[in-house]
C-alpha cells in the first residue's frame, strides 16, 4: 500500500533575522487545521528529516530547496503543543526563488508554514471520549 503524504498548514508569528537570513516560527500545533486534521507534536519523529533538513517551497519535491532548518523542536506555550523551527534561506546569489520567499516572509506578505508528514500506525483515528473531554474542539 503506498504511503500518503499529508500536509498541515499553520499561520505563525514570525521572527526574522536579517544578518543570518533566518525566520523562526511555530510551524505546526496540535490544533485542528483547515482540513480538519490534527498533527500531535509529541508524536512527530524528526530523525529522518534532520539527516537532510531542507525546506521546500510549496511542497515541490521536484525543485531545489529554498532553505534549511537549523533546528526543529517541540514546545508548549499557553496549553498549546507546537513544533518550532528556525529556517535559514539560501542566499540570493544562489537562488532567486529563496530570496523572493525570504523577502515575502520578512515583509509580512507570507506568514504561514505547511509541514508534510507520513502518519504512523495507520494515521488518523476518530477522537476518543477521553480526547474530546480534554480537547472539546476535537468533537
Are the beta carbons of 71 and 85 closer than 8 angstroms? yes
Q: What rounded mean pLDDT belongs to the chain?
A: 86
What pLDDT sits at residue 132?
Answer: 80
| Of 80, 135, 111, 85, the residue nearest 10 (C-alpha) | 111
pLDDT of 112 over the 50 cut = yes
> What does pTM read for this prediction?
0.81
Q: 59: how many CB neighbours lie within 10 A of its CB?
A: 11
pLDDT of 3 over the 60 cut = no
What pLDDT sits at residue 19?
Answer: 93
Within 13 A of 15's CA, how many CA atoms are on the CB side?
A: 7
Residues in contact with 51: Cβ distance below 8 Å, sequence separation at least 6, in sequence order: none
Are the beta carbons of 8 and 39 closer than 8 angstroms? yes
pLDDT of 119 over the 80 cut = no
**Reported confidence tier of residue 2, pLDDT bands at 50, 70, 90:** very low
**39-90 pLDDT per residue, tens:** 889 889 999 999 999 999 999 999 999 999 999 999 998 888 999 999 999 9
**Reported confidence tier of residue 105, pLDDT bands at 50, 70, 90:** very high
Are the beta carbons of 39 and 70 closer than 8 angstroms? no
What pLDDT sits at residue 124?
Answer: 65
pLDDT of 108 over the 80 cut = yes
Give me the sheet containing 67-77, strands edge to edge: 14-17, 22-29, 80-89, 67-77, 54-55
pLDDT of 109 over the 90 cut = yes
Amino acid at each position: 500500500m503506498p504511503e500518503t503524504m499529508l500536509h498541515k498548514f499553520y499561520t505563525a508569528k514570525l521572527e526574522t533575522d536579517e544578518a543570518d537570513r533566518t525566520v523562526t516560527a511555530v510551524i505546526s500545533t496540535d490544533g485542528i487545521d483547515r482540513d480538519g486534521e490534527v498533527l500531535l507534536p509529541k508524536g512527530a519523529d524528526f530523525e529522518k528529516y534532520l539527516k537532510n533538513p531542507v525546506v521546500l517551497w510549496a511542497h515541490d519535491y521536484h525543485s531545489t530547496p529554498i532553505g534549511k532548518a537549523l533546528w526543529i523542536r517541540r514546545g508548549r506555550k499557553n496549553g498549546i503543543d507546537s513544533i518550532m523551527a528556525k529556517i535559514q534561506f539560501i542566499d540570493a546569489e544562489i537562488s532567486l526563488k529563496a530570496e523572493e520567499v525570504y523577502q515575502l516572509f520578512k515583509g509580512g506578505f507570507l506568514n504561514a508554514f505547511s509541514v508534510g508528514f507520513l502518519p504512523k500506525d495507520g494515521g488518523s483515528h476518530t477522537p476518543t471520549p477521553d480526547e474530546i473531554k480534554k480537547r472539546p474542539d476535537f468533537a
